[in-house]
Amino acid sequence: MPKLLAVCVGKAEHIAGYSPLTGINKRAVSGLIAIGPQGIAEDAILDRQHHGGADQAVYIYFQGDYDWWAQEGVEPAPGLFGENLVIEGPRSADTAIGDRFEIGDCLLEVTYHRTPCMTFAAKMNDKFWVKRFHRANRPGAYCRVLKPGTVEAGMEIIVTPYAGERITVSDLMAFDVSKDIPLDFMRRAVTTPIREKTRFKYETRLADLF
């Protein structure tokens, strides 16, 4: 059964050579941590335009994807990619919009993938990191909180796959920089519990064609 390997929390900090304050520097914490509708209350989220909110309350990264990065010269550590939870078991390529993770009394639902940004590149001290992360197509998953609760590293996780259209976070990331998203893909995606921002974008594009 999959396990929760780490719970990570960040505070507002500066990254060397990067002026904006950011909460991307997350570190593993011990003990029971409460997860509410907006995520972990103690976790700093400063760029509210692109991070946080009900549809992106918790960011998960998968140990299987970290294992791949280790072979690419990146030394993994909990919180390295700015994630809140590190999970053993699934990977990005296996994880679809609508999949649910039950951890103790907390229930999460996958809504979208993580898109790399310049803050992430500064964190990794690699000016080519955004392109590198895109090429790897192992984005991890944003989740909404369906049921608040408390979690702790070491807990077992019940994974319930979404029963409808299987749109993985890796599938979505592949269209990050594309303006030509297949109509069939958008039609399938809007049948899933995808984040509302993307649902609105896809539904608007589809409506404009008719």
Q: What is the pTM of this model?
A: 0.95
Q: Which residues contact 32 (CB under 8 A, 6 or more apart)?
A: 150, 151, 152
Q: Which pLDDT value is given to residue 210?
A: 66
Q: What is the pLDDT of residue 51?
A: 75
Q: Which of 107, 115, 133 is nearest to 193 (CA)?
A: 107
Q: How confident is the model at residue 86 (pLDDT cuts 50, 70, 90)?
A: very high
Cβ atoms of residues 22 and 13 within 8 Å: yes
Which CATH number is 7's domain given? 2.40.33.20
Render pLDDT for 125-151 as a digit per residue (tens, 0 to 9). Answer: 999 999 999 999 999 999 999 999 999
Of 8-12, 95-99, 176-180, the least confident: 176-180
What's the rounded Cα separation, in Å, for the pair 5 and 24?
Answer: 19
**What pLDDT shows up at residue 178?**
79
Task: Tell me how crowded residue 110 is: count the other CB atoms within 10 A of its CB.
Answer: 27
Residue 108 DSSP class: E
Dump pLDDT digits (tens) for 58-80: 999 999 999 999 999 999 999 99
Mapped onto helix, strand or coil, the DSSP state of residue 183 is helix
Q: How many domains does the chain have?
A: 1
C-beta atoms surrounding 15 within 10 Å: 17
**pLDDT for residue 101:** 98
**Whether residue 179 has pLDDT greater than 90:** no
Query: CA–CA separation, 110 vs 99, rounded Å?
Result: 5
Q: Give the range of the structural domain holding residue 69, as residue numbers without chain letter.
A: 3-208
